[in-house]
């Protein structure tokens, strides 16, 4: 046991006892804080993190009953449930010792103590403290791992040459520990690639932890990534491991890293270079071992040229780059993706299997898909829920008009009145995203009349 890391608080109303404790414990490498007034306990515990509290059972108000000691023991346990408390008294007996253990004390020593006995008791108490901290850390890791395993994994779907190139790169790099940078527009599946890299790696049995760098404010950056110790800032009521420490042994996915301000990039680079993190409010470095995967939808090489992203950090995170193509550049995969999501959501919602009409497929293949696969996924899910026919038709897919276009224009291939009415209804339904009440109001129809026309034209 490395006593040098131990921070001990000794509370006793006898200055001679405090002096003896301080001299003995410092001689053996402990960091010691001594106080005579137990009323300072709440402030002390809030300000500092102590590994062990040595607490006298009897203060000046009550020389022998131990009531004050039990009172302050309960206060310590209330303020910090994980605290390790060793009670000391000159008036001990077996009954009092048993009660002390029942109320949460770790051990019980008598004054005047034997130095070897006190040191052995503190060593055991410090070992218990560290075991509790390790157990808490392991629980945090297990909770994160369980949450990760509970998330659904959507298999890759794609036969386009661009996607085959992605698959080939993924298979080569996944078994290594190389840092990977995934580039692609929103909705192209960057996190899916990161999870697949983890799943095919030797770290697959460890945690995969995802962090959205774009959502971290500068004030939260160090606390979230590197952790903090109790008292590091106003709301830091307990030690907390950061994402690097929790993910140690596994994979850390830093999403939207291109949004990280320059002021924080240096701190991230330092942690990656040293493979250590220093919790906020601490001077103790914690070694970490993570496989780093980053992603961004921003032109990161251009950002380097404009001095908005550090070149040395880019070198550190992109041992291998994977470029994900937008959906408009792999349109041949649209039928496969639609079939995949139709199957997924038919099972999810207990719906009968649906097929896609040829007209609907042409509509999907001609659309630009600014939201990429994520937009296609949502469009298929919505169409499956709302449709009633055996096949999904073009009207079942309410797609977003191109940016800058106020709404769908009315383009007619025929001026027959029924054709005009059908196209007008389809466009207005599209405009209001299938909301029949709003569409009926704009068309000057009742809801019932509009429903009849929707059925008539099979919209």
Q: Which residue has the higher pLDDT, 132 or 91?
A: 132
Could you tell me the sign of the dihedral formed by the alpha carbons of 402, 408, 414, 419, in that order? positive
pLDDT tens, residue by residue, 227-244: 888 877 777 777 788 899
- Neighbouring-strand partners of residue 252: 209, 292
Minimal CA–CA distance to 141: which of 287, 244, 247, 239?
A: 247
The rounded mean pLDDT for the chain is 83
Return the ∠ at Cα 345 (arms to 339 and 348), rounded to 5°.
145
- Whether 52 and 129 have beta carbons less than 8 Å apart is answered as yes
- Per-residue pLDDT at 60: 61
pLDDT digits (tens, 9 = 90+) for 292-343: 999 999 999 999 999 999 999 999 999 999 999 999 999 999 999 999 999 9
| Burial track 96-107 (b if 16+ CB lie within 10 A, e otherwise) | bbebbeeebbbb
Q: Which helix (H) or strand (E) holds 228?
A: strand 227-228
If we measure between CA atoms, which residue out of 194, 167, 166, 168 comes closest to residue 180? 194
Alpha-carbon gap, residue 249 to 289, rounded angstroms: 5
Q: What is the pLDDT of residue 354?
A: 85
* Domain annotation for the chain: domains and CATH numbers: 3-131 (3.40.50.2300), 163-325 (3.40.50.300), 326-400 (1.10.8.60), 401-459 (1.10.10.60)
Residue 441 to residue 174: CA distance in whole angstroms: 55
> What totals of helices (H) and strands (E) does the chain contain, helices first?
18, 16
In whole angstroms, give the CA distance from residue 309 to residue 458: 53
Q: Looking at residues 39-67, what average pLDDT do you find?
A: 76
Residue 113 confidence (pLDDT) = 85
Taking a C-beta distance cutoff of 8 angstroms, is the pair 360, 329 a contact?
Answer: no
What pLDDT is stored for residue 271 in this prediction? 93
Which tokens belong to 274? 């040293």
The mean pLDDT value for 160-178 works out to 93
Torsional sign, CA 364, 404, 387, 187: positive
Asked if 15 and 37 touch (Cβ cutoff 8 Å), the reply is no
Q: What is the mean pLDDT of residues 114-135?
A: 83
Tokens 């009207």 -> residue:
395
List of residues 6+ apart from 3 with CB closer than 8 A? 28, 29, 30, 122, 123, 126
Q: Is the pLDDT of residue 391 over 80?
A: yes
Q: What confidence score (pLDDT) does residue 62 get?
A: 55
Query: Of 51, 76, 33, nearest to 130 (Cα)?
Result: 51
Q: Are 320 and 178 in contact (CB under 8 A)?
A: yes
pLDDT computed for residue 263 by the predictor: 86
């Amino acid at each position: 046991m490395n006593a040098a890391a131990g921070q001990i608080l000794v509370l006793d109303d006898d200055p001679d006892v405090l002096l003896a404790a301080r001299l003995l414990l410092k001689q053996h490498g402990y960091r010691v804080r001594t106080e005579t007034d137990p009323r300072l306990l709440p402030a002390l515990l809030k300000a500092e993190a102590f590994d062990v509290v040595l607490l006298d059972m009897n203060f000046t108000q009550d020389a022998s009953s131990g009531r004050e000691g039990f009172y302050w023991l309960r206060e310590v346990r209330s303020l910090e449930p994980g605290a390790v408390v060793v009670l000391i008294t000159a008036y001990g007996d077996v009954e009092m010792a048993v009660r002390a253990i029942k109320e949460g004390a770790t051990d019980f020593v008598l004054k005047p103590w034997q130095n070897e006995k006190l040191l052995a008791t503190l060593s055991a108490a410090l070992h218990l403290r560290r075991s509790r901290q390790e157990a808490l850390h392991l629980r945090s890791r297990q909770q994160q791992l369980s949450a990760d395993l509970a998330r659904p994994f959507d298999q890759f779907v794609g036969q386009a040459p661009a996607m085959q190139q992605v698959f080939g790169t993924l298979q080569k790099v996944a078994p290594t520990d190389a840092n990977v940078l995934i580039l692609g527009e929103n909705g192209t599946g960057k996190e899916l690639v990161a999870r697949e890299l983890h799943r095919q790696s030797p770290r697959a049995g460890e945690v995969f932890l995802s962090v959205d760098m774009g959502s971290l404010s500068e004030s939260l950056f160090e606390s979230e990534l590197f952790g903090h110790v109790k008292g590091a800032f106003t709301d830091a009521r307990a030690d907390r491991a950061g994402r690097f420490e929790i993910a140690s042994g596994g994979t850390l996915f830093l999403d939207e890293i291109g949004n990280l301000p320059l002021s924080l990039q240096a701190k991230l680079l330092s942690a990656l270079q040293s493979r250590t993190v220093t919790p906020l409010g601490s001077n103790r470095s914690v070694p970490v071992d993570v496989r780093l995967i980053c992603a961004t939808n921003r032109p990161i090489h251009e950002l380097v040229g404009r001095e908005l992203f550090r070149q040395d950090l880019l070198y550190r995170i992109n041992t291998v780059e994977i470029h994900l193509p937008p959906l408009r550049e792999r349109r041949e995969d649209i039928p496969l993706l639609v079939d995949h999501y139709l199957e997924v959501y038919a099972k999810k919602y207990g719906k009968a299997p649906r097929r896609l009409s040829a007209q609907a497929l042409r509509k999907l293949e001609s659309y630009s898909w600014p939201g990429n696969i994520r937009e296609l996924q949502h469009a298929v899910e919505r169409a499956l829920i709302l449709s009633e026919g055996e096949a999904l038709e073009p009207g079942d897919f309410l797609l977003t008009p191109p940016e800058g276009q106020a709404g769908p224009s009315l383009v007619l291939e025929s001026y027959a009145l029924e054709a005009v009415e059908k196209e007008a209804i389809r466009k207005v339904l599209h405009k209001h995203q299938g909301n029949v009440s709003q569409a009926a109001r704009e068309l000057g129809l009742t809801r019932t009349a509009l429903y009849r026309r929707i059925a008539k034209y099979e919209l």
